[in-house]
Structure 1
Amino acid sequence: MSGPPITELSDRAREIFRATVEAYLESGLPVGSRTLSKLPGLNLSPASVRNVMQDLEELGLLAAPHTSAGRMPTDFGLRLFVDGMMHAMEPSSEERAAIEARAGAAGSIEEALSNTTAALSGLSACAGMVMVPKRELVLRQFSFVPLSHDKALAVLVGEDGSVENRVVDLPPGMTGSSLVEAGNYLTAALSGATLAEARDRITRQIEVERNALDVSARDLVERGIATWTQDGEDRPVLIVRGQARLLDEAASDDLERVRQLLDELEGKREIARLLDSAREGEAARIFIGSENKLFALSGSSVIAKPVRALDGSVVGVVGVIGPTRLNYARVVPMVDFTAATVARLLG
């Protein structure tokens, strides 16, 4: 939808528009002309305010959800407000400390990312999200745990203490001793290597040492490495935390919208694509309601910021998702700060 830039509105219209949007973002409820007329400094009667609000509605900036109710900003009106009128509020020292403390907690890099995302969710009252490339895991130990006669659990332990598991099919005639032999062989051969290095190294070594392993153990070694290297080595890590925060009091009258939003959050592939579209540019990108097809039905907004390494390359995206009435002025700088924190984490 097209409409006038904010500079083309009269001073009175701009002031009433700003007051309407700010009151709506604070309460989540339509704003009436009588409420606005009582604001200090406006000095207008309810009738005068109502006339201006009617003009703003005709311009597509405000909408009346019910005949007798007040008005609320449209998605287009929110876009105009965010781009031309919003005054950002920097995170407080307490908020910055909370994010940094969670990021600095002991554990693997994914645990730190999860903790940081949870902190952002709690401070913003939104669901927090972070997407980073699948990190090159450095191997420390590899073992196989039997599950049945034809299945085993391949257990990979990384140098950072992280543990990943995958179920693998066992070749016919696999014995317990062959499982141990395959695990020991992989640990000895691949300790200190990344998965990419492991794949190349194991291919060469099996050719050279074909007689060092029995047939079933050699087959399992190859399957074990293939399990990870064929498991989407370029797949990004997407962490979503704080979905329960979307179930606030204002959402109680619109449970269908919330149900739709929670369903959308389950579709992580689409969310990953949305976050990936925010990689370009330096500033946070804001998707408001119907501007994005993914969240058009649930009426939600996404704020996303690319995470940049020291050389300027994009190494991830941090964001939040919440109702369109979220406090953009407060949350946008918070996402900016979290993106900078995650950049330091990924080093």
Structure 2
Amino acid sequence: MSAAPIGEMSARARDVFRLVVENYLGSGQPVGSQTIARLPGLNLSPASIRNVMQDLEERGLLASPHTSAGRLPTETGLRLFVDAMMQAAAPSAQERAAIEARALGGGPIEEALAATSAALSGLSACAGIVLVPRREPVLRQFGFVPLSHGQALAVLVGHDGTVENRVVDLPRGLPPSALVEAGNYITERLAGLTLREAEARLRHEIGEGRAALDSAAHELIARGLAVWSQDNAARPVLIVRGAANLIDATAAADLERVRQLLDEIEGKEEIARLLDRARSGAGMKIFIGSENKLFSLSGSSVIAAPYHDGEGRVVGVVGVIGPTRLNYARVVPMVDFTAQALSRLMA
């Protein structure tokens, strides 16, 4: 049966459901009627609680793994709890300070993003993930290093200190001196420009006949610039920190699920495409278990929030991957605060 909206549940059913979910999220174990009956404020007998639990199971909100076991929330139940019942707990001053220290500690952007993801992982006990902004680096220095016959390594140094390498194919008949000449030309004439601006200027100067390079060097420069533009446009970069946090005491009893989850995390391109969906909205995205095909086998959840540049444009996504029983009330605000800190970093 499909789950009823929260407004169609009685106050008693809502209270029992909330307590079952909160206790399950804390322990990772099915919750029995005796456990709920011992909690303060409910004033129901174990028999009455079992009847309510049975009704909630028929509504598709709870499930019983064994005949004599307690209940645990289904993915539908977790979604209802997160959307309609969860009482979020703001990050503590210490948690906020730890996140901001990593995000705003200075250094290259990628290092700050990696450090922030590691801090979020440690605080949430999940795997921290961050999708790096698709930013075109601003050229500071550029060079070519010969590798073998027909190939060279293009080395780009950005104004923020980042260094990236790409392998490029060399034009036929290119003399060795052209590698030095091409690198010097880019550094002298195109430094301070983004890749797109550098390509546009190169085309303009070739068209005006002002580029003092032969045709082979022209082609080499065009290839060297194009490989970065194509790569940055097509490949979002994903940083994952703290995957070991996913192997906890309760996960040890389900090693196959953990193995599947770690395999899924290794497929960073798939996760990057999943997170890319969070770019389309202004707020938090929460994917619970099979709501996303990528994690349908391992039964994992993803909490992700976009972060923005100084002009308010979404430039990346930060979040966590964890078991479906993670502490949503604590982790959701923590991810949101981290996104705010990264937005300040990008401003």
Map 1:1-347 to 2 at 5 A.
2-209=2-209, 212-233=212-233, 235-309=235-309, 311-347=311-347
Cα distance in 1, alignment partners of residues 199 and 283 from structure 2: 39
Shift of 1:214: 4.3
Deviates more, 1:68-77 or 1:261-270: 261-270
Cα distance in 2, alignment partners of residues 187 and 280 from structure 1: 37
Deviation per residue, 1:23-82 (Å, 9 max, x gap): 100011111222222222333333332222112111111101122221100011111111
Is the CA contact 1:130–1:240 (under 8 Å) kept in the aligned structure 2? Answer: yes
Q: Could you tell me which amino acid in structure 1 is paired with residue 320 of structure 2?
A: V
Cα distance in 2, alignment partners of residues 136 and 179 from structure 1: 23
Cα distance in 2, alignment partners of residues 211 and 314 from structure 1: 37
SS in 2 for 1:95: helix
Query: How many residues are treated as equivalent by the alignment?
Result: 347
Cα distance in 2, alignment partners of residues 263 and 39 from structure 1: 39
Cα RMSD of the aligned pairs, angstroms, is 2.1
Q: Could you tell me which amino acid in structure 2 is paired with residue 324 of structure 1?
A: T
CA distance 1:203–1:241, shift in 2 (3 Å):
same
Deviation per residue, 1:81-107 (Å, 9 max, x gap): 112211100000000000100112232
Which 5+ residue runs of structure 2 have no aligned equivalent?
none
Deviates more, 1:199-208 or 1:11-20: 199-208
CA distance 1:280–1:141, shift in 2 (3 Å):
closer
SS in 2 for 1:128: strand
CA distance 1:143–1:310, shift in 2 (3 Å):
closer
Is the CA contact 1:139–1:158 (under 8 Å) kept in the aligned structure 2? Answer: yes
TM-score by length of 2: 0.92
CA distance 1:153–1:311, shift in 2 (3 Å):
closer
CA distance 1:103–1:172, shift in 2 (3 Å):
same
Cα distance in 2, alignment partners of residues 139 and 50 from structure 1: 67
Which 5+ residue runs of structure 1 have no aligned equivalent?
none
Q: Could you tell me which amino acid in structure 2 is paired with residue 51 of structure 1?
A: N
CA distance 1:251–1:273, shift in 2 (3 Å):
same
Shift of 1:171: 3.1
Could you tell me the percent identity over the aligned residues?
A: 69
Cα distance in 2, alignment partners of residues 203 and 71 from structure 1: 67
Shift of 1:152: 1.5
Cα distance in 1, alignment partners of residues 171 and 18 from structure 2: 68
Deviates more, 1:263-272 or 1:208-217: 208-217
